[in-house]
Amino acid sequence: MPPPQVECPDVDVKMSVGSIYTSFKDRRERSRTTPAVLSSAWASSDGRCCMVFVNFTNSAVDTLVRADMDNYGFESRDKIDMIDYPDRKRRTVLEAHQLETKLSLSPRSIVAYEFSPEAD
């Protein structure tokens, strides 16, 4: 599944470059620019979808998340329950199939949303 879009600041990340056979002293350091919040999406066989957002930085990050729910296996006639973790409380029901929400992520935190077709 495609990850949802996140609009947030970019950060420079230093990483070590080398294979498992490279000795520690021969490793090189490289810098790369990446969004401060990483996202992914996962589907289950029963029609549910989970989106995960990770702030791996040492600072709080505000981000805007956008997703077209048709890309995640929901049909345009479905109403969609959105449950946030860790509370497992229903946060909202989507009818427009366009998810757009603001997230404030604490330093080194994870937020997950579960989506499922609303039970009739």
Percent of the chain with pLDDT over 90: 38
Helix (H, G, I), strand (E, B) or coil at 71: helix
Q: Is 42 contained in some domain? A: yes
Q: Is 46 contained in some domain? A: yes
Distance between CA atoms of 78 and 99, rounded to whole angstroms? 14
Go through 34-60 and write b for each residue having 16 or more CB atoms within 10 A of its CB, e for each that does not: ebbbebebeeeeeebbbbbbbbbbeee
> By residue range, what is the domain housing residue 66?
5-9+36-117
CB 79 within 8 A of CB 69: no
Q: What is the largest CA-CA distance in the chain?
A: 62
Strands 37-43 and 28-35: unpaired
Whose CA is closest to 56, among 34, 31, 87, 29?
Answer: 34
What is the pLDDT at residue 19? 80
Q: Is 108 contained in some domain? A: yes
Q: If pLDDT is split at 50, 70 and 90, which confidence band does 85 have? A: low
Q: What is the mean pLDDT of residues 16-29?
A: 81
Residue 6 in tokens: 């996140």
Q: Is 22 contained in some domain? A: no
Q: Is 20 contained in some domain? A: no
What is the pLDDT at residue 37? 97
Q: What is the CATH number of the domain that holds 43?
A: 2.60.40.1180
pLDDT tens column, 25-75: 787 888 999 999 999 999 888 888 889 999 999 999 999 999 988 888 887
